[in-house]
Amino acid sequence: MRRILCIWLPNWPLQRLIVARPELKRRAVALYEQRRGLKIVAASRRALERGIVPGMPVAEASGVHLEEYQPAADRAALEELAGWCEPFSPIIGLDDADPPESLLLDITGLASLLGDEPSHAEQVARAFSRRGFFVRLAIADTIGAAWAAARHANPLWIVPTTETSKALSGLPAEALRLPVGTTEELAELGIQQIGQLLALPRPTLTSRFGTELALRLNQATGIAPEQIAAFRAIPEIIAQRLLEYPVDRRDTIDVIVSQLTAQAATALAKREQGVLRLECQLDCEGAEPLRFSVGLFQASAHSQHLRELMQTRLERLTLPGPVVAVRLSVVLAARLQSRQRDLFGDEHDHRRQLALLVDRLSSRLEPGGVVRSVPVADAQPEYAYRYEPLAGSKPPRAKSSPGLRHRPLLVEPRPMPLEVLSVVPEGPPIQFRWQGTDHRVLRSWGPERIQTGWWRGNYIRRDYYRVATTEGNRFWIFRRHGDWFLHGVFD
């Protein structure tokens, strides 16, 4: 019988933040999100005691430390935890909630290796506790039952095999992973527990609530199959070597990694594919596996280039013990680009040289050391971008944003003071002096008010104008408290 272990990390965004920044542990902390009109999305226990609750406007949340909600960072940290849990299960996934807060482990047949299921679960709980995380665990025959029990039952609940329906009967209806609208509709009809739903015919539920309610009920009870979606993408190619004797000589390990790299490159070349991200795992005697990855700016199947990148990372590693196995995985691959070379001034060769440079720098400086800037939706120009690694990922798709054309691509690191002449104090500029030259304004657009709240730190309130001068130049300037500044120049 299949057995699923669900690890729920309550209030995961705040748990992640506090573990990463222990100085916030004894403070009242809340997370806010701009997308929802600057509202609180999560609050710590101390913040809840002060009346700060999710959904409250940020302007009313006084006396707490505020941090911006970062769902992408939360998911990345949860995936990192999933990788850390691999000694407890070969199949690990994140739940399908939005955003996810649980890890799902397939522990079928594994409990006997660690004594029994309670011992297995207790070892997992102790491991998370040592890292500073609070978890609730449940083991059941299905993903839905384990997920429900972890959230709505004891901190550690093991549902006996074949007793899934009985265990679910006393749990609330929202434990079925249903949309909020469906649970509210059930409550209006007086249906509070799963047991009440189990007593109703499935066709009746489908005709009244649609297919999702019946599907979730069937998944939780095991009638409908549901698989764990592994968090780690299935590698395109795997090359591994199991060593007969443990090896601690660095030159020997370098040779093994080089041979596996050449093997992976050959397999990729046959598919007309190249590596974008290559991951190496060294199983060390008496220690946890050591993992590192190499990212590429442009897909490549050139074995010599890949070996150089891998050796650059290897020489910086400290081995915790002799190596007993080496595993190389092509985590991300893409089709190789083939172009005919130009007779004079081959531009493709210049791009290839740039890609080689980015690869070497990323390997030497870690993947996050070479980044690209990506525009994000934020009113304040200083925060309207984020950095993403340039190597090891597929290039982002170009997205057009209507607001970007009203802003210069490049802005000054610090706004530059201007001498501006305007008809009235609060009116648009008609002339300004910059770099020793007077510029007469032919046309202006604005003002565009940009301001921030007290939670951002320094209060910002600016009135921006796009101005075109008689010389044909365009500038981005703003007024603040009667003073004028230049913030950017349009191409």
Predicted confidence (pLDDT) per residue in 121-166, tens digit: 999 999 999 999 999 999 999 999 999 999 987 778 898 888 899 9
Nearest to 89 by CA among 192, 5, 21: 5
Mark 78-89 as b/e (b = at least 16 C-beta within 10 Å): bbebbeebbebb
Mean pLDDT of 202-224: 86
Which backbone phi and psi does 276 adopt, to 5 degrees?
A: -110, -35
Q: Does domain 1-27+64-232 have CATH number 3.30.70.270?
A: yes
Residue 178's contacts (CB-CB under 8 Å, 6 or more residues apart) are 186, 212, 213, 216
Hey, what are 88's tokens?
Answer: 């407890």
Mean pLDDT within 410-435: 87
pLDDT score for 469? 93
What's the pTM value of the predicted model, to 2 decimals? 0.60
pLDDT surpassing 90 at residue 188: no
Residue 465 to residue 458: CA distance in whole angstroms: 22
Domain boundaries, the chain: 1-27+64-232, 237-337, 406-489
Region 335-355: mean pLDDT is 61
Q: What is the pLDDT of residues 389-415, one digit of tens each?
A: 776 666 555 554 545 557 787 788 788
Asked whether residue 345 carries a pLDDT value surpassing 70, the answer given is no
Q: Which CATH architecture best describes the domain 237-337? A: 2-Layer Sandwich (3.30)
pLDDT for 402 equals 47
Residue 75 in tokens: 């998911």
pLDDT category at 15 given cuts 50, 70, 90 is very high
pLDDT in tens, 17-28: 999 999 998 899
Q: What is the mean pLDDT of residues 429-454?
A: 86
Q: How far apart are CA 328 and CA 306, in angstroms?
A: 12
Mean pLDDT of 161-180: 89
Torsion angle in degrees (nearest 10) through CA of 202, 207, 210, 212: 0
Judge contact between 459 and 378, C-beta under 8 A: no
Residue 218 to residue 170: CA distance in whole angstroms: 16
Tell me the H-state helices in 271-368: 303-314, 347-365
Give the bridge partners for 230, in sequence order.
Answer: 93
pLDDT at 323: 92
Query: What is the distance in angstroms between the CA of the first residue and the CA of the last residue of the chain?
Result: 66
pLDDT exceeds 60 at position 451: yes
Give the pLDDT score at 377: 64
Asked if 330 contacts 264 with a C-beta cutoff of 8 angstroms, the reply is yes
Average pLDDT over residues 156-181: 88
Reported confidence tier of residue 78, pLDDT bands at 50, 70, 90? very high
